[in-house]
Amino acid sequence: MNSHDFNKAAMGILMFMLLAIGVSNLTEVVFEQEPLEANAYPIDTASVASASSADVATENGPSIAELLQTASVEKGESVFKKCAACHTPDNGGANKIGPNLWNVVGRNVASKADYDYSPAMHDHGGTWSYEALDQYLTSPKDYVPKNKMAFAGIKKDTDRASVIMYLRSLSDTPHELPTVEVAEAPAEEAAAPAEATAPDPM
């Protein structure tokens, strides 16, 4: 009886102390976030930057061809909300502030007859390849100086790849995806063991 009560009381005190320590730790965490953040980042970016520049011969990380291998149409559809104020995506959709974007991948730049392009866009030439779209959507005013698309660009390369993947889906016959050469060697190795399993009859 007595010891039972004592245990309960001791337990109570213990719980209260743990709680008090917990709360004081919590406030420390809340108010000391900035030093934590500073510690967390440098390791990450250093390893990512060195890995991508070693694997790929580009200065700024993976190419659009590589990013498209894993890009998702669904994610791109949600990124496209940024574009929808000015562009319709559907077949036969109206031109708004910007031209309708059905079938835009592979289409000649400034080639919609019923849209009034700026002189800069009109004179640019070329087609909307994946690379061209990637560069234009990174910074519209740098890729086509003086074009009239009032859009700052998408800085995050995975978001850009997703929206380009979505643009690709806006077609009855979507443009072929680019291929990435790196995969060839492992594929041959993987095929070899299959041929070697035949002998050893039992």
User: What residues contact 67, with CB distance under 8 A and at least 6 apart?
Assistant: 157, 158, 160, 161
* Least gap, CB of 39 to ligand HEC (angstroms): 35
Contact status, residue 95 vs residue 112, Cβ threshold 8 Å? yes
Q: Give the residue with the Cβ less far from ligand HEC, 71 or 133.
A: 133
Contact status, residue 117 vs residue 100, Cβ threshold 8 Å? no
Q: Give the residue with the Cβ less far from ligand HEC, 65 or 117.
A: 117
User: What residues contact 139, with CB distance under 8 A and at least 6 apart?
Assistant: 152, 153
* Least gap, CB of 173 to ligand HEC (angstroms): 18
Q: Name the CA dihedral angle for 104, 58, 66, 141, rounded to a multiple of 10 degrees.
A: -20
Q: Give the footprint of ligand HEC on this chain (CB under 6 A).
A: 82-83, 85-87, 97-99, 101, 104, 109-110, 112, 117-118, 120-121, 128, 133, 137, 147-151, 154, 163
* Least gap, CB of 92 to ligand HEC (angstroms): 15
Q: Give the residue with the Cβ less far from ligand HEC, 148 or 178.
A: 148
Q: Give the residue with the Cβ less far from ligand HEC, 62 or 165.
A: 165
* Least gap, CB of 58 to ligand HEC (angstroms): 22
* Least gap, CB of 48 to ligand HEC (angstroms): 25
Contact status, residue 91 vs residue 153, Cβ threshold 8 Å? no
Angle at 21 between CA 18 and CA 24, to 5 degrees: 150
What burial class does residue 178 get, using C-beta atoms within 10 Å of its C-beta: 0-12 exposed, 13-18 middle, 19+ buried? Answer: middle
Q: Give the residue with the Cβ less far from ligand HEC, 148 or 175.
A: 148
Q: Give the residue with the Cβ less far from ligand HEC, 120 or 180.
A: 120
* Least gap, CB of 56 to ligand HEC (angstroms): 24
Residue 44 C-alpha from the chain's centroid: 17
